[in-house]
Chains A and B, each alone.
Chain A
């Protein structure tokens, strides 16, 4: 399920339109994930508040989107490009990789809301493939 040149171009195009609102998008996607999949809250027990507008959620949403933005620039070799992040997730955060899918779905939902006409099935396919590849690279160092 590797990314074709067309997939990469599609992802870059959407990222270009999203990067200016990265914080908002990240916070929205994260809030939705925490609400729809409450088990994901277990990773954030140290936060004061997990509600949609909270400072912790906003800040972390931004952190995540910055990471994704970085991954967009490293699409040609995600495994090497995300090595440090993978080590962080593997040895320190130890997020069960199944959760990457849950956040990915919510990023797709936010994109569908933002781009109701442009987020076509083909665009959805390209972005989903990218997010899957990203998740795979992130879990590379797990074992």
Chain B
């Protein structure tokens, strides 16, 4: 089981309570699709992904970004059992969506960059440590049920 200090819990809760899910979700997913274009393979049915501009204006991508970010709420509400919280979602990504789990890490890195840009200097070393620890637990849980 992952151990969280009170400080880490406070940091993670603070980030989420100030989060604009639509803005950050859209920006993170778009950034992932642009910086790591091979991730576009999973979005064949999402309309025009021709270049960075069309990706950034794509409403389906924006909506999906928001959805992904709200998916993190589950981890936030169950920080002491993220592994089991995501068991079903992990199976979904493995068996139905067929997403290479390395992509979770790529999206997590983009999310970190977007949050850093948003928070600026408030994204201190300690904040980044807690944030990336949280994301790495989520990424690990999402990849856990692959078989």
Binding site for B on A (CB under 8 A): 31-32, 35-36, 52, 105, 108-109, 112-113, 115-116, 119, 121-122, 124-125, 128
Contact = CB atoms under 8 A, between A and B. Distances in A.
A75 B34 CA distance: 22
Where chain B touches its partner, the secondary structure class is: helix
B57 interface: no
A128 B31 CA distance: 12
Nearest to A116: B117
Q: How large is the interface on B (under 10, 10 to 19, 20 to 34, 35 or more residues)?
A: 20 to 34
B45 interface: no
B56 A121 contact: yes
Interface of B: 30-31, 34-35, 52, 56, 109, 112-114, 116-121, 123, 125-126, 128-129, 132
A113 B34 contact: no
B117 to A, nearest CB: 4
A124 B111 CA distance: 13
A104 B129 CA distance: 16
Contact of A36 (B35, B52, B129): B129
Contact of B117 (A31, A105, A113, A128): A113
B117 A122 contact: no
B125 A31 contact: yes
A121 B128 contact: no
